Amino acid sequence: MVVSRPEALTSAPAAPVAAPCSFAEVYDAHFAFVWRSARRLGAPALTVDDVVQETFVIVHRRLAEFEGRSSLRTWLFGIVLNVVRAHRRSLLAKHPHALRSEVAADLEAVRDAAPGPHEIATQAEAVRLVDRLLEALDEGKREVFVLAELEQMSAPEIAAAVGIPLNTVYSRLRLARQEFAAAAARHRARDERRIP
């Protein structure tokens, strides 16, 4: 199992590593990106470390094959995406209710440190809310939404990473943004009704 590296998870996004580079450089520069991507793409909390480990095992085996036709992050995301999909399929086949009943992961490890307890609690709740809203999106929409909105990748990079046509990226992203915004509005409305 991959050892969690909290300092890597809270740091700013890594700058792209120019190819060719060593596996250690790729691992150090992109660990947080791979972890966040795995979790945001729906890897169950209990298997995120396994997904990250399997991703980096594949990267280690195939790094010499990386030709630089896309960015290293795009290439890594394609691997993470395939590993997450395989883990979710496997888990669904073995335990059909496991993905639906999973308690949302505590994603505080990926947030930046806040100065006070109130700010920490507020930010942790916001992260949990975003995680719940992402889980409500279907896989295809969630994939493009995470890459566009959270990882700030361009539509052509997303198309290359996910392996879908560019217009499909735009369509899924538009629908995902609408669904995400509607779910967030419903959540706000519920909160406003609870406040006396």
User: Which tens digits make up the pLDDT trace of 136-174?
Assistant: 888 889 989 988 988 888 999 999 988 999 999 999 999
Q: Is the pTM higher than 0.85?
A: no
Quick one: pLDDT at residue 103? 41
Please calculate the CA angle 191-135-169 and round it to the nearest 5 degrees: 115
CA distance 53 to 76: 13
User: What is the residue extent of each domain of the chain?
Assistant: 6-194
Task: Residue count of the chain, please give it.
Answer: 196
Q: Which range has the worst mean pLDDT, 18-22, 28-32, 71-75, 190-194?
A: 18-22
Span 93-145, pLDDT tens digits? 776 665 554 444 445 555 444 456 767 777 777 778 888 888 888 888 998 99
Span 13-59, pLDDT tens digits? 444 444 457 889 999 999 999 999 898 888 878 888 999 999 999 99
Rounded to a whole number of angstroms, the distance between the first and last alpha carbons of the chain is: 48
Contacts 24+ apart (CB under 8 A), 55-58: 55/79, 55/80, 55/83, 56/2, 56/23, 56/27, 58/83
Q: Which range has the worst mean pLDDT, 8-12, 24-28, 77-81?
A: 8-12
Quick one: pLDDT at residue 195? 64
Quick one: pLDDT at residue 42? 83
3-class DSSP state of 158 = helix
